Amino acid sequence: MEETISLRDLFQVLRKRVWLIILITIISAIISAVISFFVLTPVYQTSTQILVNQAKSEQQLYNAGAVQTNVQLIRTYNDIIKSPAILDKVVEQLKLDGSAKALSGKIQVTSAENSQVAQITVQDTDPKRATKIANTTAAVFQKEVPKIMNIDNVSVLSKADLASSENPVKPQPTLNIIVALVVGLMVGVGISFLLEYLDNTIKTEQDIENILDLPVMGVITNIKEVPKATNVQRTDINARVQQRGETFGS
């Protein structure tokens, strides 16, 4: 007979193993909290902005064609900022450990669509170092871009500020703990259903009917074991037996 599982059966499984689910959920949250607070190294983030404008030698009037050219140059500048031509000098000036390639992994350059502004974002385990890297990268790029592109149209719009990078951007303990709670709950529920699926023992009359497809003729209830008599009770019982024996013998 095909076995069907009702919603009530599912709730019974969850109720039966509710403590296992709670335990797994709590353990997951504790592990996440320990890793977030004591294992992972905090990472700080800061950013600076540069403006790609008309060349300083040109007449300071609005030129739609020049603006469009600058917007197109932004994509090229984004790649130049993370190139060894710029980052090698940043490493040298700040006396950083590691190569320009390693530094490139800490820097992200972004710009909005049709915008002349590029944002240089730096992530580092030291907020002071992150601020220095962001500002130095912008300054070096501003200095070197005329040599590379033969055009002087870059200016620093805003510098990175240490105050804005005092709070780490990762890890995020609260978010990690919430995710761990959800994952732990899902794992606990999954393990509960798995244990119930692997448990093929017969516990109730309904299991007999469902598994063996046989009707239940009767039920033998549990009989509690009679407690053993104490020495005083045994003496009293022996005396009664002996007395009855004498009565029968007389």
Mean pLDDT score across all residues of the chain: 83
- Cα dihedral angle (123, 157, 75, 43), rounded to 10 degrees? 10
In terms of domains, do 16 and 30 share one?
A: yes
In a domain, 115, yes or no: yes
What separation in angstroms does the CA of 183 have from each of 36, 136, 194?
16, 42, 16
Q: Give the CATH number of the domain where residue 90 resides.
A: 3.30.70.1130
In terms of domains, do 133 and 81 share one?
A: yes
Instruction: Give the CB-side neighbour count of residue 204, counting CA atoms within 13 A.
Output: 3
- Domains held by the chain: number: 3
Task: Determine the residue type at 95.
Answer: K
In terms of domains, do 70 and 98 share one?
A: yes
In terms of domains, do 154 and 232 share one?
A: no
In terms of domains, do 189 and 104 share one?
A: no
In terms of domains, do 48 and 33 share one?
A: no
* Beta bridge partner(s), residue 25: none
pTM over 0.75: no
In a domain, 206, yes or no: no
Q: Please give the pLDDT value at position 55.
A: 57
In terms of domains, do 66 and 148 share one?
A: yes
Range of the domain at 24: 7-40+171-198
Q: Please give the pLDDT value at position 248.
A: 43
In terms of domains, do 86 and 134 share one?
A: yes
- Tokens standing for residue 78: 């984004």
In terms of domains, do 56 and 156 share one?
A: yes
In terms of domains, do 157 and 123 share one?
A: yes
In terms of domains, do 175 and 229 share one?
A: no
In a domain, 102, yes or no: yes
Q: Please give the pLDDT value at position 165.
A: 80
In a domain, 104, yes or no: yes
In terms of domains, do 223 and 189 share one?
A: no
Q: Is the separation of the CB atoms in 107 and 81 below 8 Å? A: yes
In a domain, 89, yes or no: yes
Alpha-helix residue ranges (DSSP H) falling in the chain: 7-16, 18-34, 64-81, 84-94, 100-104, 127-149, 173-198, 205-211, 231-249
- Tokens standing for residue 69: 């050219």
Residues 6+ apart with CB under 8 A from 19: none
Q: Please give the pLDDT value at position 245.
A: 47
User: Could you say which residues of the chain have pLDDT below 50?
Assistant: 1, 59, 241, 244-245, 247-249
